[in-house]
Amino acid sequence: MTQTPGLPELLPALPELVLVLGAMVLLLAGVFRRRETSGGIESAAILLLIVAGAIVVWLPSGTLVTFGGSFVLDSFARFMKLLALTGSAAAILMSFDYLIRENQQRFEFPVLILLSTAGMMILISAGDLIALYLGLELMSLALYVVAGGILVTGNLRGTPLVNAGLLGLGTLIASLVGTKAVIDSDDAALVRGFQGSGAAR
């Protein structure tokens, strides 16, 4: 019989839960206000990041493990989480003037940054591949939406030759730098097979 995780089992993941639940509350607040401008959502998002950082510092010291070893919180994870929270708060702060200047103030931007930060924090504490995959997907999906909202202007015309050139450039860069496909579930199974992790079966 499966049991619902209690509060002591959820304690190591409390900062992530605060970020996700806070992002949902801010999303609902932005939707029901029915205004295009973000107003105080950015300030509330920064406050939420500060609260999550305080919770990371407040959690008991030592190594905390939950969800059957899928989620590990140690001193290095704490440091990396505080770094991710600081970077996200700085990104929201630096975007104030730019979004006003470009008339792109939308309440979704800080909410997506919060969800992406929660994904980063899950990724930092991942103890197995499924937790790694969940954190990576939450982080990257939110950042894809943020990147899709950026308006890039230029004087290139969309001819087939230019499109093919940009596609080729993107392919070359992806092959040199690599993509996240190695971490996808089917490729992760292949990597684990090469490591001999299923040899005990």
Domain chopping of the chain, boundaries? 7-153, 154-201
What would the DSSP string read from start to end of 172-198? HHHHHH--GGGGSHHHHHHHHHHHTTT
pLDDT digits (tens, 9 = 90+) for 13-38: 899 999 999 999 998 988 887 665 56
Longest dimension (CA), the chain: 63
CA distance 95 to 120: 20
What number of residues does the chain have?
Answer: 201
pLDDT digits (tens, 9 = 90+) for 75-104: 999 999 999 999 999 999 988 888 778 777
Q: How many CB atoms lie within 10 A of CB 157?
A: 8
Query: What is the amino acid identity at position 112?
Result: L
pTM of the model: 0.73
Secondary structure (3-state) at 35: coil
